[in-house]
Every structure is written in structure tokens, then in C-alpha cells.
Amino acid sequence: MPEAVTRRILVTGSADGLGRAAADALLSAGHDVVVHARNEERAAGLDALIDREAHLVIGDFTERDAVRSIAAKLNEAGPLDAVIHNAGVWSGPAVMPVNIIAPYLLTALLRAPSRLVYLSSGSHFGGRPTLDGVDWRGESAGSYSDSKLFVTTLAAAVARLRPGVLSNAVDPGWVPTRMGGPSAPDDLELGHRTQEWLAAGDDPQALTTGGYWYHRQRLEPHRAVHDEAFQDRLLQTLAEETGTAL
């Protein structure tokens, strides 16, 4: 049997919920995991993972300079093999900064991880494929559905433009996390397994790119996701907004 490969994997938003579960499982599988928390208070909840030799980065994804600082620190520490873009918020002004601006900036700035996994949602089907009037800076409440359509499109665009990178989007389901609420109907365990599989798995299905996945099943996303013209408009808009090209 071939020896298991140890990978260096960043899991954003890993203080609780699906991110915490993914980081825990990847550590248990022997990977070198970098966990992320928004602030020192949230980071205190990661002590158990840090005691198991997880590495920690701290930064508020509503602040673009904090995202840039995290990317610089990670690049200094050496290349990542994979990133699970798990951090997300359901409502309020932070929706666009956290759900799309932060993963876009990390994608542009990190030293070319070979696998990228973006957290989507079934809500992306209700998103609007228009970029006019979007409040990227979070001065007002953003649309969760729109943000998830944008990040799912980002995953597809990266798959097209970086042929050496495995880039996929995952719908984890509506699971009982702090965001999903206690009455959410989907399986919490299944909610994080696909991300881990795409970030570290070696079977042929896990080595594909450009997919939209739900519980290891590849599904067809919103039709705008694979519209190359929409992809290009989104990337151009994000590059102009952040001053950082992909």
C-alpha cells in the first residue's frame, strides 16, 4: 500500500462548525493543518487543535488588510498544498467581504496551492448573476445567495484559468452549526467530508476540477457559474475593487 501523503492545508473559519470539524479530521489523518480564527477570543477555542500541532493564523476577513497580512505570513512559512475556503457569514454587512472578497484575495495572493475548495450553498441557485450595484465593502447588508453564486463562479473560473490547480465548490448542505441553527435538517458529519476529500483525497474523483459538489456527488450548478463571460466580468470587477488581479 502506498504511503499516505501529508499535505499542508489551510482551513479558514475553523473556530467552530464545519471548518472546525474539517480541521479536526484532517489533523487526525496526519496532515499539517493551518487553522484560522477571526480574533484572539475566537482563537482561544482552537487550543485543543493547536495542542495537536495545528498552526494558527488570526485575522478578520471583513478587513482586506488582515486578509493580505494572513496571505503574506502563510507565504513566508512555505507553500500550501490546499485551501478550504470555509469562512462565511449568513447575513449583514460582512456577507460580501467575508464570502467573496476574502477568498478572492487569498486565491490571488497565496503561493499557488494545488487544490482549492470553496464553500458554496444551495442558496446560490437564488443568486443574481449581475454585478451592478454590489456593495463589495460591506457598508450595507449583502445578499447571501448572490455571494454564494459569486464564490461558486470564482471556483469555476480558477479551474478554467489555472489548469494545474484543482478548484471545486462544495455545498455542505443545511447543517446544524451556529450559522445553520439547531433545527437544520442535513447531516453535520457529511457536511464536512467532501471538503476534506477534495483537499486531500487521492482517488480519481477527488482529482477532478471545476465541479460543484454535494456529499461527493457532482451536480450541475446555476447556469451562470460556467458562463465564461460572467466569470471574466466577475474577475475583472473583483480585481478593480481590490486592486489585485488573480
For the chain, domains (ranges, CATH) are: 8-242 (3.40.50.720)
- Name the catalytic one among 104, 118, 148, 214: 148
- Average pLDDT score over the chain: 93
pLDDT at 56: 98
Alpha-carbon distance of 14 to 37, in angstroms, equals: 6
Alpha-carbon distance of 219 to 169, in angstroms, equals: 10
Determine whether 144 is an active site residue.
Answer: yes
The grid coordinates listed for 225 are: 457559474
Closest CA to 10 of 109, 151, 93: 109
Alpha-carbon distance of 142 to 91, in angstroms, equals: 7
- Name the catalytic one among 104, 144, 212, 214: 144
Q: Is 116 helix (H, G, I), strand (E, B) or coil?
A: strand
Q: What average pLDDT does the segment 26-51 reach?
A: 97
Q: What average pLDDT does the segment 42-67 reach?
A: 97
Alpha-carbon distance of 69 to 169, in angstroms, equals: 25
Alpha-carbon distance of 53 to 4, in angstroms, equals: 18
Query: Per-residue pLDDT tens for 90-141?
Result: 999 999 999 999 999 999 999 989 999 999 999 999 999 999 999 999 999 9
Q: Are 90 and 18 in contact (CB under 8 A)?
A: no
Query: Per-residue pLDDT tens for 173-206?
Result: 864 455 545 554 455 667 899 999 999 999 999 9
CA angle 223, 226, 228 (to 5 degrees): 120
pLDDT at 174: 63
Model confidence pTM above 0.85: yes
Query: Per-residue pLDDT tens for 70-91?
Result: 999 999 999 999 999 999 999 9
